[in-house]
Amino acid sequence: MSVVFVASSLLPTPFAVFTMHGFLDEETGIEHVALTLGDVANGEAVLGRMHSECLTGDALFSLRCDCGFQLEAAMKAIAKEGRGILLYLRQEGRGIGLLNKIRAYSLQDKGADTVEANEQLGFPADMRQYDMCLPMLNHLGINAIQLMTNNPKKIAALKALGINVVERKPIEFGKNRYNQNYLATKAGKMGHLFGLQHQQEKSEDNTR
């Protein structure tokens, strides 16, 4: 995989003024983004999130999933810490793409769960790769991460790439009546770790 750095700029947000770094996968033409805050290259472990694109949740306020809430919570956590990294990975719909995700949602409207819907379309439940993370983190001088995730497969994939995940930080936000089944399937069929977050963090901000 040939992922190269292209350009950096400031990105003011309601939470902090991040620095935004753009990367290009020269083989596929896919553009990825990293947001950093503070000195992330000083050798100390960095609070981080590797967030896969979810146009519906991240930009269109969808309540079908928890993605947008997790994205906002991660940015807020990094802002609170004053230091951290968010990789925004352009692998929509766990890698099947936006239009196939809409096809999958259509099947879910008829009763399939999120895994069954992918399978009925001929895809595995999760097609994501995390290879692009390594060149992005290397470019930014980061070698150890406190990772915000509930997904043990994400941790395993990053570790397999040689990324030093020193700690997992739960990130449970955005539970609502529309994503109950989605979250239950994540926990039941995909091995996600739920229910371990501190009560205080839960009550902090569950809705936008």
Ligand X SMILES: Nc1nc2c(ncn2[C@@H]2O[C@H](COP(=O)(O)OP(=O)(O)OP(=O)(O)O)[C@@H](O)[C@H]2O)c(=O)[nH]1
Binding residue ranges: 49-54, 65, 67, 70, 92-94, 114, 149, 154
Tokens of 55: 């146009």
Contact flag: residue 92 with ligand X (CB under 6 A): yes
Give backbone dihedrals phi and psi of 84, rounded to 5 degrees, phi first.
Answer: 165, 180
Q: Whole-angstrom Cα distance, residue 34 to residue 60? A: 21
Q: Whole-angstrom Cα distance, residue 147 to residue 72? A: 15
Interacting residues of 92 by C-beta distance below 8 A, sequence separation 6+? 52, 53, 54, 55, 98, 101
Nearer to ligand X, 3 or 158 (CB): 158
Q: Is 128 an active-site residue?
A: yes
* Residue 36 interaction partner, one of Zn ion, ligand X, none, beta carbon < 5-8 Å per kind: none
Nearer to ligand X, 12 or 58 (CB): 58
Which residue among 23, 52, 142, 173 contacts ligand X (CB under 6 A)?
52
For the window 46-75, what string marks contact with Zn ion as x by the rule CB under 5 A?
--------x--x-------x-x--------
3-state helix, strand, coil in the chain (%, to 5): 35, 25, 40
Side chain identity, residue 24: L
Q: How far is the CB of 92 from ligand X (least distance, A)?
A: 5
Which residue among 32, 94, 103, 168 contacts ligand X (CB under 6 A)?
94
* 30 backbone φψ class: left, alpha, beta (φ>0; ψ -120 to 50): beta
Q: Is 126 an active-site residue?
A: yes
Q: Whole-angstrom Cα distance, residue 36 to residue 17? A: 9
Contact flag: residue 149 with ligand X (CB under 6 A): yes
**How far from chain centre, in Å, is Cα 166?**
17
The closest alpha carbon to 87, from 127, 42, 47, belongs to: 47
Which of 66, 113, 126, 168 is an active site residue?
126
Tokens of 29: 């033409």
Nearer to ligand X, 28 or 42 (CB): 28
Choose one: 27-35, 63-71, 129-137, 196-204; the region binding ligand X (CB under 6 A).
63-71
Contact flag: residue 185 with ligand X (CB under 6 A): no
Choose one: 3-11, 15-23, 86-94, 157-165; the region binding ligand X (CB under 6 A).
86-94
Binding site for ligand X (CB under 6 A): 51-54, 65, 67, 70, 91-94, 96, 101, 104, 114, 118, 149-151, 154, 192
Residues designated catalytic = 126, 128
